[in-house]
């Protein structure tokens, strides 16, 4: 018996899947003893068939996503001949396997899988990711029976609202607008695929199933299908709305979440915002011939040493650092603000600004918070996620870095503006306090100038110092 091969800290095991250019093996993380799945890609085969962009897209997209119903990617290891994508191991097999021994699923199981699918798709769309190849073969089940979306090889990262043009996907699951070779909305196309999957889960058969591709596409374009007699009115209603051949009239994720049939026993799965932006240089490096053996991909983090450069300057209590740090990067949706408050006071200001913008606050640690949109009256979730991290320069000077990873730009700007005003408010507050002190002292002077003169040393009143501070 030969010795098991190792890739970095992973010991490879048996093959659990195989394709033209790649195979998937189960492996063990030797440090944690946890099972992982490793997709092994033949680099030369991919390059010769011009599939580099597809592999890069799959890696980049999966690095961006962190959701209970989406297969996680842990790291990428590249050698001169191979690319190893280390992923979450999902042991229950494909959802399609269930159809091999079950004619159809019971309504409760079908609804649960559909709910988890919609949660995953909603999360992807909120981050500008469109899968474009949703089908039971790409939906995996874990050992607890939960569904996870996999295989993002045909996915694309696009701004919400932008139209796509590449026709792709599996014929039986592709939307009518995709097969016409015209620009289409990736969100609506994914929703159509979800409708086909739901029909299949409830009936055990595809709504559109023809051997002849032309006949298949003709039925898809007209949404010609027949409901089995056991479909209930509520099932027919949601499927009909999902399989509307007109994308603009097709039901949206927000409307699906409000559907009565969908809401039965619904337990939402919430994704986690990724603060680190994708480093595409690392993804490109997987195809670099100069990559050495067992070179693991590492995310490069920005150095925070620039903070130290200001510490010498910031020793003065009168120094205003806002000019150095108040900047906004609209492209990356990051904002930096200067604060003349302690770190504790700054966090409190962030909480007040969040409340003004109708956001809920989640404390991550002593210097970092996450903000989420709080919506109590509806099940529609926008996956709005903002993080605010406070870096202490001196005990009375901080820098706040705000990053938006998902959600509406309007809410983000509203929060940033509110926080900026609150942080600047200390200067106005200080001036008011000094003015009040000055008025108080002047009043005391009018009442008893002799007493004030005799006690001026004890009081420590220095009018020049007050004016200096006001300035």
Cα dihedral 177, 119, 98, 111 in deg (nearest 10):
-100
Mean pLDDT to the nearest integer, 425-453: 50
Q: Please give the residue range of the domain that contains residue 223.
A: 94-270
Percent of the chain with pLDDT over 70: 70
Q: Are residues 240 and 105 in the same domain?
A: yes
Residue 10 pLDDT class (50, 70, 90 cuts) = very high
CA 251, CA 228: separation in Å to the nearest integer?
A: 22
HSE (side-chain half, CA atoms, 13 Å) at 260? 6
- Number of other residues whose CB lies within 10 A of the CB of residue 215: 11
Fill in the DSSP letter of residue 377: S
Q: Which two tokens stand for residue 3?
A: 């010795």
Number of domains in the chain: 3
CA 189, CA 242: separation in Å to the nearest integer?
A: 10
How high is the pLDDT of residue 247?
93
Q: Which two tokens stand for residue 54?
A: 């597809």
Mean pLDDT to the nearest integer, 464-469: 39
* Long-range contacts from 344-351, C-beta under 8 angstroms, 24+ separation: 346/390, 346/398, 346/400, 346/423, 347/390, 349/419, 349/422, 349/423, 350/388, 350/390, 350/400, 350/419
Q: Are residues 100 and 222 in the same domain?
A: yes
Range of weakest confidence among 165-169, 309-313, 342-346, 441-445 = 309-313
Q: Are residues 141 and 77 in the same domain?
A: no
Evaluate whether residue 83 is within a structural domain: yes
Range of weakest confidence among 70-84, 111-125, 269-283 = 269-283
Among all residues, which ones are annotated catalytic?
133
Percent of the chain with pLDDT over 90: 30
Q: Are residues 313 and 290 in the same domain?
A: no
Residue 382 pLDDT class (50, 70, 90 cuts) = very low
Evaluate whether residue 413 is within a structural domain: yes
How high is the pLDDT of residue 237?
96
How high is the pLDDT of residue 406?
63
3-class state of residue 328 by DSSP? strand
Q: Say whether pLDDT at 30 is over 50.
A: yes
Element (H, E) at 414: helix 409-447
pLDDT per residue over 337-358, tens digit each?
Answer: 888 888 888 888 898 888 888 8
CA torsion sign for 210, 211, 215, 220 is positive
Q: Are residues 293 and 370 in the same domain?
A: no
Element (H, E) at 184: strand 184-185
Q: Which two tokens stand for residue 375?
A: 């919506």
Q: Which two tokens stand for residue 420?
A: 């900026």
Q: Are residues 289 and 329 in the same domain?
A: no
Evaluate whether residue 456 is within a structural domain: no
CA 246, CA 179: separation in Å to the nearest integer?
A: 13
Known binder of ligand: residue 219? no
- Contacts of residue 288, Cβ cutoff 8 Å, sequence gap at least 6: 78
Q: Mean pLDDT in the chain? A: 76
Q: Where are the beta strands (DSSP E) in 53-143?
A: 73-78, 82-88, 129-130, 139-141
Q: Say whether pLDDT at 208 is over 90.
A: yes
pLDDT per residue over 131-155, tens digit each?
Answer: 989 999 999 999 888 999 998 877 7
Mean pLDDT to the nearest integer, 400-416: 78
Evaluate whether residue 464 is within a structural domain: no
Pairing of strands 35-42, 22-29: antiparallel
Report the range out of 270-279, 343-352, 362-371, 373-382 with the highest average pLDDT.
343-352
Q: Which two tokens stand for residue 197?
A: 């999957």
Q: Are residues 144 and 185 in the same domain?
A: yes
Q: Are residues 162 and 265 in the same domain?
A: yes
Domain with residue 64: its CATH number is: 3.30.200.20
How high is the pLDDT of residue 469?
37
Please answer whether residues 188 and 163 qualify as being in contact, where contact means their C-beta atoms are separated by less than 8 angstroms.
no
Q: Which residue has the higher pLDDT, 320 or 239?
A: 239
CA 97, CA 89: separation in Å to the nearest integer?
A: 17
Residue 170 pLDDT class (50, 70, 90 cuts) = confident
pTM of the model: 0.61
Q: Say whether pLDDT at 444 is over 50.
A: no
Report the range out of 50-64, 169-183, 190-204, 384-398 with the highest average pLDDT.
190-204
Q: Say whether pLDDT at 34 is over 70.
A: yes
Evaluate whether residue 327 is within a structural domain: yes
How high is the pLDDT of residue 56?
80
Evaluate whether residue 355 is within a structural domain: yes
- Number of other residues whose CB lies within 10 A of the CB of residue 271: 22
Mean pLDDT to the nearest integer, 424-448: 53
Q: Which residue has the higher pLDDT, 157 or 253?
A: 253
User: Longest C-alpha distance within the chain, in Å?
Assistant: 107
How high is the pLDDT of residue 1?
46
Evaluate whether residue 411 is within a structural domain: yes
Q: Say whether pLDDT at 308 is over 80.
A: no
Q: Are residues 79 and 149 in the same domain?
A: no
Report the range out of 69-78, 92-101, 394-403, 432-441 with the highest average pLDDT.
69-78
Q: Are residues 175 and 297 in the same domain?
A: no
Q: Which two tokens stand for residue 269?
A: 């799965």
Instruction: Using alpha carbons, list the distances in angstroms from residue 127 to 57, 313, 342, 449.
Output: 14, 40, 34, 69
Q: Are residues 257 and 117 in the same domain?
A: yes
Please answer whether residues 385 and 308 qualify as being in contact, where contact means their C-beta atoms are separated by less than 8 angstroms.
no
How high is the pLDDT of residue 425?
72
Evaluate whether residue 277 is within a structural domain: no
Q: Which two tokens stand for residue 80?
A: 């001169």
């Amino acid at each position: 018996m030969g010795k098991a091969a190792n890739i970095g800290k992973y010991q490879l095991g048996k093959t659990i899947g195989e394709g033209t250019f790649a195979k998937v093996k189960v492996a063990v993380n030797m440090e944690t003893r946890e099972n992982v799945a490793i997709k092994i890609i033949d680099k030369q085969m991919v390059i010769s068939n011009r599939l580099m962009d597809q592999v890069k897209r799959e890696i980049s997209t999966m690095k961006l996503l962190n959701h209970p119903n989406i297969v996680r990617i842990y790291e990428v290891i590249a050698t001169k001949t191979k690319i190893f994508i280390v992923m979450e191991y999902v042991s229950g097999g494909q959802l399609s396997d269930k159809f091999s021994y079950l004619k159809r699923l019971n309504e409760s199981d079908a609804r649960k899988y559909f709910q988890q699918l919609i949660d995953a798709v909603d999360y992807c769309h909120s981050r500008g990711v469109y899968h474009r190849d949703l089908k039971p073969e790409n939906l995996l089940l874990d050992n607890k029976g939960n569904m996870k979306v996999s295989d993002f090889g045909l996915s694309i990262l696009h701004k919400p609202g932008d139209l796509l043009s590449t026709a792709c996907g599996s014929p039986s699951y592709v939307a009518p607008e995709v097969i016409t070779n015209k620009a289409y909305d990736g969100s609506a196309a994914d929703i159509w695929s979800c409708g086909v999957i739901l029909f299949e889960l409830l009936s055990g058969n595809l709504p559109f199933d023809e051997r002849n591709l032309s006949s298949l596409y003709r039925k898809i374009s007209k949404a010609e299908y027949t409901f089995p007699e056991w479909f209930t009115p509520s099932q027919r209603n949601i499927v009909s709305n999902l399989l509307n051949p007109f994308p603009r009239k097709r039901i949206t994720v927000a409307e699906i979440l409000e559907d009565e049939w969908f809401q039965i026993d619904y337990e939402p799965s919430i994704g986690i915002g990724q603060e680190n932006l994708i480093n595409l240089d690392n993804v490109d490096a997987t195809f670099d011939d100069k990559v050495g053996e067992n070179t693991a991909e590492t995310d490069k983090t920005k150095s925070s040493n620039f903070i130290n450069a200001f510490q010498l300057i910031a020793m003065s209590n009168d120094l205003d650092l806002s000019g150095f740090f108040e900047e906004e990067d609209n492209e990356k949706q990051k904002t930096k603000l200067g604060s003349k408050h302690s770190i504790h006071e700054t966090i409190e200001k962030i909480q007040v600004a969040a409340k003004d913008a109708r956001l809920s606050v989640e404390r991550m640690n002593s210097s970092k918070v996450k903000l989420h949109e709080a919506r109590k009256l509806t099940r529609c979730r926008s996956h709005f996620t903002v993080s605010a991290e406070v870096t202490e320069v001196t005990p009375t000077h901080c820098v706040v870095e705000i990053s938006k990873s998902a959600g509406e730009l309007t809410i983000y700007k509203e929060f940033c503006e509110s926080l900026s005003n609150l942080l600047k408010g200390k200067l106005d507050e200080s001036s008011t306090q000094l003015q009040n002190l000055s008025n108080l002292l002047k009043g005391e002077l009018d009442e008893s100038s002799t007493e004030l003169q005799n006690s001026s040393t004890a009081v420590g009143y220095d009018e020049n110092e007050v004016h200096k501070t006001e300035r």
